[in-house]
A and B are shown apart, each in its own frame.
Chain A
Amino acid sequence: MNSIAVNDLHKTYAGALTPSLRGLSFSFPEGKIAGLLGPNGAGKTTTISILCGLVKQDAGKVRIFDIPQEAGRREQIKRVVGIVPQQIALFPQLTALENLVYFGNLYGFKGKALKDKVMGHLEAFGLEKAANKEVGRFSGGMKRRTNIIAAILHEPELLVLDEPTAGVDVQSRSMILQFLREYNAKGNSVLYTSHLLEEAQQICEDVAIMDEGKLVVQGSPADLINGLDDCRNLEDVFLHYTGHAVRD
């Protein structure tokens, strides 16, 4: 079974001149760490927003674990998917603990069990001392880590992360990557986007490179690198397929 299957997605935002997605298709088998890569504006965030129902596609189909992304099934999908948005999605005026307890409550968890779960995650991410500090006063890396915890409270089988390592220091990044590996090792699927191709090469078993709203190429990093003569790493592959022109 595929964790995600996207078929011929089209999306033009209201008021936008050009489409953001033009016939995007890809799929990832379940149980893998997959990477969705592409230059700025390629449509990665748009794709993820469609996956989780925050944005509606104009055409095309999305299936998560074979559940079709339809109006009636969105709730079901939300239960099996955890989304870490590109933007920090927390209340800056609340402490990390208050944020996570509130979101846990919204999932239906409560009481000591919830608090223990939240404290466990905070500890795993090295945030136990910051539990009672307002998120607004966190460093970028602390916010990113807390942002991830908010997405895994319901232990989703598929975790989707939009640039989880953007703007964080080496320590935070390695902690996050380590977490992704461990989460995957428990049998969960992970899809993440990143501009750091070295990082993607390290941890992804499967990558899809997209540009201008379309899939350019998909495969394991090793296969992609070996498939092209002049490419030594994923960055070379990426540049080979997407060119050197700067995106706006």
Chain B
Amino acid sequence: MLRLIATIRKEWLLLRRDKAGLTLLFAMPLVLITVMALIQDAPFKDYQEVKFDILTVDNDQGRLGRYIREGLGASGQFNVIDSFGQQPLTEEKAQSLIAEGAYKISITIPKGATAEIVSNANKIVNDISKRMGLASQLPVKAVVADSLAVQLYFDPASKKAFKSAIQQALDNFLTQVQTDLLLERIQMQLKSKDSAAAQDTFPAIKLKAVGLKETGVGAGKQIDVISNSVQHNVPAWSIFAMFFIVIPIAGNMIREREDGSLVRMKLIPGNYGSILSGKLLFFVGICVVQFYLMMLVGIYILPMLGLPRLQLGGDHAAGLLTAASIGVTATAYGILIGTLFKTPNQALNFGAISIVILSAIGGIWIPLEIMPDTMQKIGRLSPLSWGLDAINDIYLRNGNVGYILPDIARLLGCGAIMLAIAAIVEQRRIG
């Protein structure tokens, strides 16, 4: 125990004198997460509010056109474009813009479409009135040979899913206009029959009896995984920064070998394991401090810069456990690198590049969720992704300790394996 505490104290004395190391460990990560959260703010807003430009050529100038435009606009996902330059958009122009690839979708509402719908509704109402023994007086157009259709043009490169989503949305608007008009006619007819009833007290007919509602499935409040820049970037880049502890650790190990202090430690009776544990504990402690400093930036500093405030989820014990587990893996990785490499330069290069790669595939730069399937599978092998996954489970899905145990087990298991390899390699050195 004395050996362990003495080692922690010694590491602290060493680190305290190492101004460059302190800066690397504490100041740089804070700058990093602030910068990453700021520059990724816009792209993250885009993920959330992907807006597609939709060219609309309204040859009808009636109610259908208005419904479609308003409906598309209201969904918040589309920008309706109905003029080009100063001119109203024509079908030819729209077609050529799609062909050029400048836009992805174009909709043409045919001339007389609303009239056709009105006429159809009138016909139904007349029909019903007649069967009910009422006089039918709504005007009906003579039968038109071709049925009118709203014309869609897609960029040939559009994905199938995208096309069918658009088609469904439009189909929805068409149905809505047609039922609205029909109900309106029926209402008119009923009113004219029952003229005694006060016009304004007549109940409006509503067709929608059952609607759709989306609810999250998390234990409590649910934030979308890639909901905002802060919620992704602060934990993600914190984990990245914590892993960078491998560089000071590897440097520390290699220096001890070079300056001979390792020899002195080995000459003293007692288990080297307790010295290594002291080192491990110390650096895990540093990692945890780093982590919470960065969380504080997410909670207090970033909101001052106009970004959303970081949400920490409900289970703080789980958060601490995760931070410590990430620290164990990162520290063990540093000890392994420090054992394997002979010079600080080799260790620095290998350490830095490997962490950048592990972080890129592990979903630190962009969330794994939006990567292709194969990349996601590869990414799940990165210890950084386990850490991030656990943090997301706690912060976004309100997970508790039980929920994150698999990730914690992976992190600690990986750390134990790396320490074992380092121990075996170090043991072989005596020979």
Chain A residues 177-222 with CB under 8 Å of chain B are: none
A89 touching B264, Cβ below 8 Å: yes
Chain A residues 68-102 with CB under 8 Å of chain B are: 75-76, 78-79, 83, 85, 87-94, 98, 101-102
B261 at the interface (CB under 8 A from A): yes
Chain A residues 51-76 with CB under 8 Å of chain B are: 52-56, 75-76
Question: Beyond A98-B10, A110-B2, is A87–B260 a contact (Cβ under 8 Å)?
Answer: yes
B6 at the interface (CB under 8 A from A): yes
Task: Tell me the bound Cα distance from A102 to B5 in angstroms.
Answer: 10
What sequence of 0s and 1s flags, for each residue 265-294 of chain B, a beta carbon within 8 Å of any chain A beta carbon?
A: 111111000010000000000000000000
Task: Tell me the bound Cα distance from A108 to B270 in angstroms.
Answer: 9
B13 at the interface (CB under 8 A from A): yes
A88 touching B260, Cβ below 8 Å: yes
A245 at the interface (CB under 8 A from B): no
Complex contacts, B261 vs chain A, CB 8 Å? 89-91
Q: Of B2, B5, B13, B268, which one neighbours A103 at CB under 8 angstroms?
A: B268
Complex contacts, B31 vs chain A, CB 8 Å? none
Complex contacts, B259 vs chain A, CB 8 Å? 88-92
Complex contacts, B270 vs chain A, CB 8 Å? 75, 106-108
Complex contacts, B204 vs chain A, CB 8 Å? none
Chain A residues 1-43 with CB under 8 Å of chain B are: 14
Complex contacts, A75 vs chain B, CB 8 Å? 269-270
B17 at the interface (CB under 8 A from A): yes
Q: Which residue of A is nearest B264, CB measured?
A: A89
Q: Of B2, B266, B269, which one neighbours A105 at CB under 8 angstroms?
A: B2
B263 touching A91, Cβ below 8 Å: no
Question: In the complex, what's the smallest C-beta–C-beta distance from A4 to chain B, in angstroms?
Answer: 16
Task: Tell me the bound Cα distance from A93 to B268 in angstroms.
Answer: 20
Question: Beyond A55-B431, A56-B431, A110-B2, is A94–B264 a contact (Cβ under 8 Å)?
Answer: no
A79 touching B263, Cβ below 8 Å: no
B14 at the interface (CB under 8 A from A): yes
A93 touching B260, Cβ below 8 Å: no
B171 at the interface (CB under 8 A from A): no
Q: Of A54, A79, A93, A134, which one neighbours B269 at CB under 8 angstroms?
A: A79
A90 touching B431, Cβ below 8 Å: no
B196 at the interface (CB under 8 A from A): no
Complex contacts, A55 vs chain B, CB 8 Å? 430-431
Chain B residues 95-110 with CB under 8 Å of chain A are: none
B267 touching A78, Cβ below 8 Å: yes
Complex contacts, A131 vs chain B, CB 8 Å? none
Complex contacts, A237 vs chain B, CB 8 Å? none
A150 at the interface (CB under 8 A from B): yes
Q: Of A56, A87, A98, which one neighbours B263 at CB under 8 angstroms?
A: A87
A106 touching B431, Cβ below 8 Å: no
B63 at the interface (CB under 8 A from A): no
Question: In the complex, what's the smallest C-beta–C-beta distance from B407 to chain A, in angstroms?
Answer: 36
Complex contacts, A85 vs chain B, CB 8 Å? 260, 263-264, 267
Question: Beyond A106-B3, A106-B275, is A53–B430 a contact (Cβ under 8 Å)?
Answer: yes
Q: Which residue of A is nearest B3, CB measured?
A: A106
What sequence of 0s and 1s flags, for each residue 391-423 of chain B, a beta carbon within 8 Å of any chain A beta carbon?
A: 000000000000000000000000000000000
What sequence of 0s and 1s flags, for each residue 1-12 of chain B, a beta carbon within 8 Å of any chain A beta carbon?
A: 011011101100
A93 touching B267, Cβ below 8 Å: no
Complex contacts, A93 vs chain B, CB 8 Å? 13-14, 17-18
Task: Tell me the bound Cα distance from A199 to B180 in angstroms.
Answer: 113
Question: In the complex, what's the smallest C-beta–C-beta distance from B272 to chain A, in angstroms?
Answer: 10
The interface of chain B, by Cβ under 8 A from chain A, is: 2-3, 5-7, 9-10, 13-14, 17-18, 256, 259-261, 263-270, 275, 430-431
**Lowest 9 CB-CB distances: which A-B pairs, in order?**
A105-B6, A89-B260, A89-B264, A78-B269, A87-B260, A106-B268, A75-B269, A89-B263, A102-B10
- A to B CB contacts below 8 Å, 19 in the list: A52-B267, A53-B266, A54-B267, A55-B431, A85-B263, A87-B260, A89-B263, A90-B259, A90-B260, A92-B259, A98-B13, A102-B9, A103-B265, A105-B2, A105-B3, A106-B268, A107-B269, A107-B270, A154-B268
